[in-house]
Amino acid sequence: MFKDIAIDELLKCENDDFVYVDVRSPSEYKEMTIPGSFNIPVFNDEERAEVGTLYKQVSKEAATDRGLELFSAKLPVFIKQFNELPGKKVVYCWRGGMRSKAAATFLDLMGVETYRIKGGIRTYRHWVMKQLESIEMKSKAYVLNGGTGTGKTEILHRLNKEGFPILDIEGLANHRGSVFGALGLTPHNQKTFDSLLVNEVKRLEHQPFVMFEAESKRVGKIQLPPFLLNKKEQSTHIFIELPIKERVAHIMEEYKLHEHHEEFTQAFSQIKRRIHSPVANQIEEELKSRNYETILELLLEYYYDPRYIHTAEKYGEDQKIILRVNSIDEAVEEVKGIVTGERGLVLNK
């Protein structure tokens, strides 16, 4: 017989060979799931809608009969997909109801070791919310700061490849943070971000230090939790200063503006009124010719850099390290020197 297991008990089993399987429909899985889960749905979106309609308009019995009819037809493929996954299977639906019970029952009958999460993914969401309220980042933190285009995210990614502990906030949000941050991306929703964030913070909790990028209260539509914002304010900030030509080149490479002209134009319309009219009008003219390098220089000089200067002034001299570098390669080496103690705070200005 399959075993029901509470989410708290399950998440304590770090060394067990558990594989999480979300048996909800693809659209539910896309909205939120437990990080690392596979999606093997009992019903697809259309089938779920059909069963739900029967439940509301006819009866519970009619919905159950139709659900079993739909599910039994796909059982061979369903079981095969589970058998292709290694380890002990942990299944869940929204509330720990019919879908996960049916999946766990048939898997057990086929000899597949199976667990079912009590209360479904709803209990996991409650657990995430409690973590966001109570979690602490006790490790020392270094916050990469600096103007737009200084390569902060790329620096983090390069350091991560070398084994340095980083928290990639923009990666968890799938958004680059600015009004242009969604170009070419599909941002995550708040629930997905919260789950991924808690997962990453837990993973990093025993590291001697962690690095992350300075963000405002929001990354796109994602709202950052108080514990992360508080940690940012209390930590050492490494300010990256890079020549404007290098910054423009980096933005061009990262954002691929030629591929996202309409999105870029639409995003600019959202901030146009915040830019001095002659400059805004010049940017609009340059957009017609797609002169992105000129546009970026204007945006950096008249929109982004004044905001960066204002932010930098918030931090005291004993809290910030200023790195004036000529390339992202140079910045990576300098940051490595700081966090490994080779340079320390001697770079304070």
On the question of pLDDT at 187 being above 50, the answer is yes
Give CA–CA dist 55/49, Å, rounded.
10
Tokens (6 digits) for 75:
């059982």
Using CA atoms, how far residue 261 sits from 266, 289, 303, in Å, is: 9, 11, 19
Q: Which of 34, 93, 211, 219 is the catalytic position?
A: 93
Predicted local confidence at residue 15, as pLDDT: 62
pLDDT for position 224: 98
In the chain, the domains with their CATH numbers are 3-131 (3.40.250.10), 135-347 (3.40.50)
**pLDDT greater than 60 at residue 348:** no
Q: Tokens for 320, please give them.
A: 């910030």
Question: pTM, whole model, 2 decimals?
Answer: 0.91
| For range 153-161, the mean pLDDT | 97
As a whole number of angstroms, the distance between CA 267 and CA 87 comes to 46
At residue 344, the pLDDT reads 43
Mean pLDDT of 91-116: 93
Residue 349 has pLDDT above 50, yes or no: no
Q: Is 93 in the active site?
A: yes
Tell me the per-residue pLDDT of 41-93, one tens digit each, with 9 for 90 and over. 999 999 999 999 999 999 999 999 999 999 999 999 999 999 999 989 999 99
State residue 325's pLDDT score.
96
